[in-house]
Amino acid sequence: MSVNKFLQFLVPKDKKFFPLFHELAQVLVDMGVTLHEAVNVKAPEREVFFAKVKKLEEKSEKLTHQINLEVSKNFLTPFDREDIYALANKMNDVTDFIDASASRMQLYQVEKVKKSIRKMTEANLEACQNIQEALFSLENSKDLKNVFKCCERINKLENKVDNIYDKEIFEIFDQYENVKEIIIYKEVFSALETTTDKCKDVADVLESIAVKHS
């Protein structure tokens, strides 16, 4: 047992790191909800959603910086310091790519949102919700089995999105003749698929932490 883990038994419940992680997880979910809402309205109505995504991404950056700063200031942490850094930064990567997905739709003025895009934003939202649930379970050390269940669901969602991505990339090259349209859709699909990959990266860190504390 590490010194840090041993000392955790001697101190009160963490009041700094988990509240920050829960706040960051809520940002992930809010961004996932907002992007999914954006692709379910007409193009002229999307700007307000894209602006909200951008503001939430800025909040994520601030929270990630705050978590990293707290690590440098505090001797005792709820789990290993390198895991705190990894978890915060991997979660921030998710918000970066949700923002990138929104930015590409906005930049390329995507008029027609394919059904597959809605499926991908829905899957990414679900992955973010599982990250949030896993964090609550991680804080409650008696509920670590649920952390593994959440991570398993995220892995399945990542596989689902990969399959959608592969199918759609094949179809846009097979069916579209306009090079501009091909590039636009490929960029959007790539950002959405990478978002799910980043959620899986978060799941890997959460699973690793849960294993250490099992």
| 97: nearest Cα among 120, 129, 69, 66 | 120
Distance, in Å, from the CA atom of 85 to the CA atom of 121, rounded to the nearest integer, reads: 27
Cβ-proximal residues to 123 (8 Å cutoff; 6+ apart), any chain: 157, 160, 161, 164, 196
pLDDT per residue of the chain (214 residues) written in tens, 0 to 9 = 454 454 444 344 657 899 999 999 999 999 999 999 999 999 999 999 999 999 999 999 999 999 999 998 887 888 899 999 999 999 999 999 999 999 999 999 998 899 999 999 999 999 999 999 999 999 987 789 999 999 999 999 999 999 999 999 999 988 887 888 899 999 999 999 999 999 999 999 999 999 998 7
Distance, in Å, from the CA atom of 77 to the CA atom of 138, rounded to the nearest integer, reads: 14
Q: Let me know: does 61 contact 128? Beta carbons within 8 Å.
A: no
Burial 113-148 (b: 16+ CB within 10 A, else e): bbebbebbbbbbbbbbbbbbbbbbbbbeeeebebbb
Residue ranges of domains in the chain:
14-213
Distance, in Å, from the CA atom of 60 to the CA atom of 19, rounded to the nearest integer, reads: 14
Check if CATH label 1.20.58.220 holds for domain 14-213.
yes
